[in-house]
Amino acid sequence: MDMDKLVSLCKRRGFIFPSSEIYGGINGFWDYGPLGVELKRNIKDAWWKDTITTRDDVVGLDCSIIMHPKVWEASGHVGGFSDPMVDCRDCKGRFRADQLTFILFVLSTEGGAAPAKNIFFFGSGNELEVAEQHAKKIDKLTNGVKPGESLTRTSGTFLDLDPEVRAKFTCPTCNKEATLTEPRNFNLMFESHAGAIADEANKVYLRPETAQGIFANFRNVVDTGRVKTPFGIAQVGKSFRNEINPRNFTFRSREFEQMELEFFCHPEESAHWYKYWRDTRYQWYVTHGLKSSKLTLRDHDPDELAFYSKATADIEYDFPFGISELEGIAHRGDYDLSQHQKFSGKDLSYFDEDRWEKEKAGMGMTSFKQYLEKNKGAEKPGYPYQYVPHVIEPSAGADRGTLAFLCEAYQEDEVGGELRTVLKFHPRLAPIKAAVFPLVKKDGMPEKAEAIYRELKRHFNVFFDEKGAIGRRYRRQDEAGTPFGITVDGQTLQDDTVTFRDRDSCTQWRVPAAGVLQAVRDLLDGQPIPGGEKVSEGSE
Ligand code: GAP
């Protein structure tokens, strides 16, 4: 699938626009148009329903975007949430040092190494891929390496090189030599000031993740929410990161939405819950239409893990620009609650009353007395009844999810000898659920079609279209990803049946007009296409 085609369809059909486009746009910010906002909302709603509403063990939360600055000290974001950044002194271009890749050619002779034959830097995009193409050209040019000479090639990122080698390199934007600075750490948090005076004391941050609001409210939820471990607190909301290099359409933006769950459990049960959420989240994407052949569940190697994390896995999707992260599932141990406990001075441990009662009942008097003896002076029993819960964190991006579902849905196929572009969304995610069409604008067809449209509109987002040839109207809805089309024609006026068209197969059936609402409802619930007389198959 060609990414440019998808970006242009998103613009043309009102899924996604560059933010502030009339002023030339602003890098890293995007707006969702009428179809895009429905698609993203359906994704967030499906996540919310599957993660919270239909479960007994997860509650929701909606925290403020700006929080006490100490939250970000405790979380480690003030000190550590940064990317190594390189500037060009000449053109003022700015690059992430870990994304600035190079290919270095060294021509060696028998007598010793000659100077570097050539060096390439690429600042962004599919760096190595582009570099490889250039490399092939170089290889061709150097096919004529003389006897006694050999050409070696190494590659890596800016960070892999010695400072004196880095100093010589060429800027990938302006192509000037020796203009790049040494890498410097650049904090990704957006800063602002709360209050009238813009000084250090009033400095605040836009949250770079929604998770910390959940940890900061852990005590509140435990004290008021009647929750018992294992339980989760979930949140959907905007996060902000001043990404050095926003790219790949909405994939890496500076303002984006996250769907995060913090699942709190007993330390001894955490390995079980980690595996549970890792598998459940992977399956969620498959259920909603991402092909498992395009999804990877990648376990992090031990050297990739944060020092506090016992295990982390990424769910990755094969985007047109490469395999990239959709969601991370991390076993964070008790790191976050312990940090907030330390920085706030508040007790964030949890007394597991159920476990305590169960153990007490099973202990027998002698061992219970022994236990109390051993824990003398303690007001409450200690571990394993009183503990700082361990956290399993599935953290998903709503915008990345939206982009993956768009990429997967985009298809070009042929119907009745005609090429069409179609977005084959899962019906649950489709922005418009059904479109209603009068075949022609006469003989009472528009009135009948409108009555059906009004009935459906009370329940779902549906669309009414009476303009143009019916084939073109179908194509327009195919491009919007509308799964079902309902057409009122001459026969409707005689027997009160309509045609019901399936977007993916283009097959049409005749069904009673009175059954349309139930049919759409069943289809959205995953039931099969309604029976009835087949009118046409795969053509129109
Ligand atoms: N609380 C953990 C956390 O925030 P993360 O891996 O930094 O972890 C989680 O982010 C998810 O948020 C990512 O998998 C991705 O889907 C989304 N995300 C992160 N940065 C993003 C960006 N700049 N643009 C769009 N989505 C982003």
Nearest atom within ligand 1 for CA of residue 252:
24
Assign 295 to helix, strand or coil. Answer: strand
CATH number of residue 32's parent domain: 3.30.930.10
Tell me: pLDDT of 540 over 80. no
Q: 214 and 342: one domain?
A: yes
Whole-angstrom distance, CA of residue 139 vs CA of residue 144: 9
Tally the domains of the chain: 4
Do 136 and 267 lie in a common domain?
A: no
Are 56 and 87 contained in the same domain?
no
Q: Which of 395, 402, 405, 406 to mutate to test the pocket of ligand 1 (most atoms within 8 A of CB)?
A: 395
What pLDDT, on the 0 to 100 scale, is given for residue 134?
Answer: 60
- Ligand 1 centre to CA of 228 (Å) is 28
**Confidence (pLDDT) at 536:** 74
Cα dihedral 152→323→236→186 (10° resolution): 10
Give the chain's length: 540
Q: Tell me what pLDDT residue 398 has.
A: 98
User: Residue written as tokens 């050095």?
Assistant: 244
Longest dimension (CA), the chain: 95
Q: What is the pLDDT of residues 213-266, one digit of tens each?
A: 999 999 999 999 789 999 999 999 999 999 988 989 999 999 999 999 999 999
| Interval 127-135 mean pLDDT | 57
Which residue among 19, 99, 256, 324 is best mutated to probe the pocket of ligand 1, counting the most ligand atoms within 8 A of its Cβ? Answer: 256
Distances from the Cα of 106 to the Cα of 68, 103, 109, 175, angstroms: 53, 10, 10, 20
Query: Which residues approach ligand 1 with their CB closer than 6 A?
Result: 209, 211, 241, 243, 252-253, 256, 258, 260, 325-328, 395-397, 399-400
Q: Whose alpha carbon is nearest atom 9 of ligand 1?
A: 395
Query: Which of the listed residues 367, 400, 433 is the one where a domain comes to its end?
Result: 400
User: What is the domain-level CATH number for residue 522?
Assistant: 3.40.50.800
Q: How far apart are CA 482 and CA 228, in angstroms?
A: 42
The predicted pLDDT at position 122 comes to 47
Is residue 444 scored above 60 in pLDDT? yes
In the predicted model, is pLDDT for residue 107 greater than 70?
no
Return left, alpha or beta for 228; rule: phi > 0 is left, psi -120 to 50 is alpha, else beta: beta
| Cα 307 to ligand 1 centre (Å) | 19
Q: Which of 143-147, 237-241, 365-369 has the lowest mean pLDDT?
A: 143-147
Q: Is residue 456 part of a domain?
A: yes
CB 460 within 8 A of CB 431: no
First to last CA, the chain: 26
Whether 131 and 240 map to the same domain: the answer is no
Ligand 1 centre from 65 Cα, in Å? 16
* Nearest-CA residue for atom 25 of ligand 1: 252
How far from 278 is each of 142, 363, 392, 394, CA to CA, in Å? 48, 35, 9, 8
Choose the residue to mutate in 258, 297, 314 for probing ligand 1, maximizing ligand atoms within 8 Å of C-beta.
258
The band of 128, judged by pLDDT with boundaries at 50, 70 and 90, is low
Cα separation, 65 vs 189, whole angstroms:
12
Q: Please tell me the predicted confidence (pLDDT) of residue 258.
A: 98
Output b/e per residue, 324-341; b: 16+ Cβ within 10 A: bebbbbbbbbbbbbebbb
- Mean pLDDT calculated for residue range 270-283: 98
* Range with lowest mean pLDDT among 46-50, 381-385, 432-436, 528-532: 528-532
Q: Which amino acid is at 355?
A: R
243 CA: nearest ligand 1 atom:
23
Please tell me the predicted confidence (pLDDT) of residue 360: 76
What crossing angle do the helices spanning 516-524 and 445-457 adopt, rounded to 10°?
A: 40
Query: 164 and 29 in one domain?
Result: no
Within 10 angstroms of residue 199's Cβ, the number of other Cβ atoms is 9
143 has pLDDT over 70: no
Specify the residue for token string 């990429």.
407
Residue 223 and residue 92 share a domain: no
Predicted pLDDT of residue 98: 85
> H or E element: which one contains 401?
helix 398-409
If asked whether residues 345 and 377 sit together in one domain, one would say no
Mark whether 163 and 280 lie in a shared domain. no
176 and 252, same domain (yes or no)? no
Please answer whether residues 240 and 188 qualify as being in contact, where contact means their C-beta atoms are separated by less than 8 angstroms: no
Q: Is the confidence at residue 54, as pLDDT, over 50?
A: yes
Q: Which domain holds residue 371?
A: 352-387
Which ligand 1 atom is the nearest neighbour of the CA of 208? 4
Express each pLDDT in 296-327 by its tens digit: 999 999 988 988 999 999 999 999 999 999 99
Whether the predicted pLDDT of 126 surpasses 60: no
Nearest CA residue ID for atom 22, ligand 1? 252
159 and 84 in contact (C-beta within 8 Å)?
yes
**Cα–Cα distance for residue pair 163/359, rounded to 1 Å:** 61
Ligand 1 centroid from CA 253, angstroms = 10
Q: Give the pLDDT score at 119.
A: 47
- Residue with the bigger pLDDT between 7 and 161: it is 7
Distance CA(131)–CA(172), nearest Å, equals: 11
Distance 144 CA to ligand 1 centre (A): 48
Whether residue 250 is found in the same domain as residue 396:
yes
The sign of the CA dihedral 180, 184, 190, 192 is negative
Residues 29 and 175 in one domain: no
Please tell me which residue, 531 or 137, carries the higher pLDDT value: 531
Span 68-96, mean pLDDT?
91
CA pair distance 5, 382, nearest whole angstrom: 60
Q: Quick one: 476 and 358 in the same domain?
A: no
Res. 106: pLDDT tops 70: no
- Tell me the H-state helices in 13-113: 34-48, 69-75, 77-80
Least confident window among 85-94, 296-305, 364-373, 406-415: 364-373
Distance separating alpha carbons of residues 408 and 355, to the nearest angstrom: 46
375 close to 368: Cβ distance less than 8 angstroms = no
pLDDT of residue 472: 94
Interatomic CA distance for residues 385 and 340, integer angstroms = 21
- pTM for this predicted structure: 0.87
DSSP three-state, residue 411: strand
Query: Is residue 201 assigned to a domain?
Result: no
**Average pLDDT taken over every residue of the chain:** 89
**Nearest residue by C-alpha to atom 10 in ligand 1:** 395
pLDDT tens-digit series, residues 478-514:
999 999 999 999 999 999 999 999 999 999 999 999 9
Most ligand 1 atoms within 8 A of CB, residue of 32, 325, 391, 403 to mutate: 325
Please tell me the predicted confidence (pLDDT) of residue 137: 56
Distance from residue 396's CA to the centre of ligand 1 (Å)? 7
Q: Using the predicted structure, report yes or no on whether residue 459 has a pLDDT greater than 90.
A: yes
Domain membership of residue 200 (yes or no) is no
Which atom, in ligand 1's list, is nearest to the CA of 258?
12
